[in-house]
Amino acid sequence: MSKVLRHFFTVVALLAPVTTLQAGRFYADFNSGEPPGSRISGDAMFNPGAGVDDSGMLRLTVPDKNRQGAFIVEDFDEKRKVIGFVADFKMLIGGGGNRGADGMSFNFARQIPPSIGEAGSETGLVISFDTYKEASGPPEILVKYFNETLKTVELAKLRTGNVFVDVQIKLATNKLLTVTYDGRLLLECEVTDYKPLGGAEFGFGARTGSSFDSHVIDELSIVTTVERKSGPNSRSTNPVPQSTTVAKD
């Protein structure tokens, strides 16, 4: 290739708008209180010594009546649009006797309100773990997007007793949402209307009523894939993975 041609292609590469992908990361083991870049509300608290391997943990509710707690991870992608994510965490729901309630929610949404409970926010994507159904029927996992239910999966058992189970919630960049619970793929759902959210938050909520449970989270990891439109000043046409640990305590 001649020098002139090489120069031409270099200029084209620098000027063309290119979508690149970067990954942000949030991690919290809750061993030393509130992680930077997060907030709690309601009855949520950090308990030392009661989590995985007797480490600290995040307790959204105690096993008592009429409790509500939330934990919000603030945007760690500088308002860039999130086109996919993988959230891994340990979850414990139990301690409320034969009929626990009401469950908890995982949210990726804008301006998550503090009282989301198990139903979740109406401003984005929600995976709801609804355990109250155990009183009159099987418990359910629901996928909702802007308050529209996209998928419901009934389970024989959703409460975990006094043990933590591994949960993974993944939104692939092709809009396929998967929920893996205790090593089993429980749910697949294509979120066809998903539009990449910028400036959104991740959050957990839980609630109890006349029936109740402990709702607990530990060892939370969230990795995002974000869209970035590079402009004329871009010097790279390749995806540039970048890991940013916002909180690791």
Binding site for Ca ion (CB under 5 A): 29-31, 51, 55-56, 218
CB of residue 31 to Ca ion, shortest distance in Å: 5
Instruction: Output b/e per residue, 74-111; b: 16+ Cβ within 10 A.
Output: bbbbeebbbbbbbbbbbbbbbbbeeebbbbbbbbbbee
Q: How far is the CB of 102 from Ca ion (least distance, A)?
A: 24
**In the bound complex, what is the minimum distance in angstroms from residue 53's beta carbon to Ca ion?**
8
**Minimum CB–partner distance for residue 51 and Ca ion (Å):** 4
Q: Which lies closer to Ca ion via its Cβ, residue 21 or residue 50?
A: 50
Task: Please say which residue, 51 or 139, places its beta carbon nearer to Ca ion.
Answer: 51
Nearer to Ca ion, 51 or 96 (CB): 51
Q: How many CA atoms lie within 13 A of 85 on its CB side?
A: 29
What are the angstrom distances between the C-alpha of 69 and each of 17, 116, 133, 167, 215?
43, 8, 20, 19, 9
Residue least distant from Ca ion (Cβ) = 55
Q: Closer CB to Ca ion, residue 48 or residue 209?
A: 48
Minimum distance between the CB of residue 97 and Ca ion, rounded to whole angstroms? Answer: 26
Based on CB atoms, which residue is closest to Ca ion, 92 or 158?
A: 92
Task: Give min distance, CB of 215 to Ca ion, in A.
Answer: 15
Of 201 and 218, the one with the shorter C-beta distance to Ca ion is 218
Residue closer to Ca ion by CB (options 30, 106) is 30
| Least spacing, CB of residue 52 vs Ca ion, in Å | 5
DSSP H or E run through 199 = none
